[in-house]
Structures are given as structure tokens and as C-alpha cells.
Amino acid sequence: MGSTNPMKHTLVALVEDKPGVLTRMASLFRRRGFNIESIAVGHSELPSLSRMTIVVNGSANILEQVRKQLSKVVDVVKVIDVTGDNITVRELALIKVRATSATRSEIIEIADIFRANIVDVATDSLTIEITGDEDKVNSLLNLLRSFGIKEVARTGCIAMLRGSTTRAEEKKAKAADQGQGLV
């Protein structure tokens, strides 16, 4: 069985593009006492299906039960726990920061270091767009705090497995490498 210690888990789900799917999924987490740290959903490469990335904190045992229950929701096509897998994770944030004529160039330099883009310039502020992992976004936010952050909008994490192989192909390759083969 899995661990009973709470930790951060990342789930990726393919769901039918229908009203109420997100509510039903979120209700399952709520009933089990999981706090959803982030949830991002958008159209997938498959017609009429959306890809949902859910980041939650909780024990592996209970999360596995929730994952199985999510798989039984009629509009859910597939749910996988990608925690610990070789994944690419990104987040998008828009950060509106106070800017004066004296601080504007310093803020732009900081944004450049993070490969962030200035997407709006106003007389008293700059809006910065950054894409990266959670640590990168948090690091930029921490550096900009001293200028005065006016507003922040974050998407939450999105994730997918790295490379061109599927999880099933990875498991087959791992089993073959370990001399187990498949029957």
C-alpha cells in the first residue's frame, strides 16, 4: 500500500467537455478532505475532450481511492497520478507591479533575467507575463515584492509526461530492461 504521509500529488485527467464535470470532480476531493492546491483545465488534442491537471495535498492511500472514484465518474475518460513520473510542469502568471520612472528599468531587467515578457505598460505600473515551474514564478514574485505588487493572476500547474512514449510503453520498456517481459 502507499504512504499515509500527506504530500503534493499531481493528477492528469481526460474528461468529456460537458457542463458539471469539474463540479463533480471537485466534490469528490472535498468529500475526502483534500484541498485542491491548483486546478487547470482546457481543450485537449482530442475533439470533445478536455485535459485537467489537479494538484492536491494528501496521503497516497486516500488519493488512490479518490483517483479510482474519479475514474468511475461518467464523464471522466481517464485519470492518472503522474506524481514522481518524468513530467513537464508549467504555470502562467500575470503580475502587475508598481513602477515609477525611477524603478521601471530595474523591473524590466529583472523580468528579462526570468525570460518574462512585459505585456502592459501604464504610467504607474508594468504587467509581466511569466511561464515556468512554480519555483520560478515564486522567485520572480519575491523579487518584485519590494516594488509593490498590485495584482497577481496565476493559472495553476499544467502537466504532461515527457517524451513521446505513453506510460504503458514506459512500463513495458522498464519490465523488459528488468528481464521480466510481458505475457
Place of cell 469539474: 22
130 neighbors 116 (Cβ within 8 angstroms): yes
The residues spanned by each domain of the chain are: 7-85, 90-156
Distances 175 to 80, 86, 124, 178 between C-alpha atoms, Å:
19, 17, 59, 5
How far, in Å, CA of 42 to CA of 26, rounded?
A: 16
For residue 137, is pLDDT > 80? yes
Fold match flag (7-85 vs 90-156) = yes
> Could you read off the pLDDT of 150-179 as tens digits, one per residue?
999 999 999 999 987 555 555 544 544 455
Q: Domain 90-156: which CATH class?
A: alpha beta
> Could you read off the pLDDT of 44-101 as tens digits, one per residue?
999 999 999 999 887 888 788 888 888 888 789 999 999 889 999 999 999 999 999 9
**Whole-prediction pTM:** 0.78
Q: Which fold has domain 7-85?
A: Alpha-Beta Plaits (3.30.70)
89 neighbors 10 (Cβ within 8 angstroms): yes
How far, in Å, CA of 79 to CA of 67, rounded?
A: 7
With a CB cutoff of 8 Å and minimum separation 6, the contacts of 105 are: none
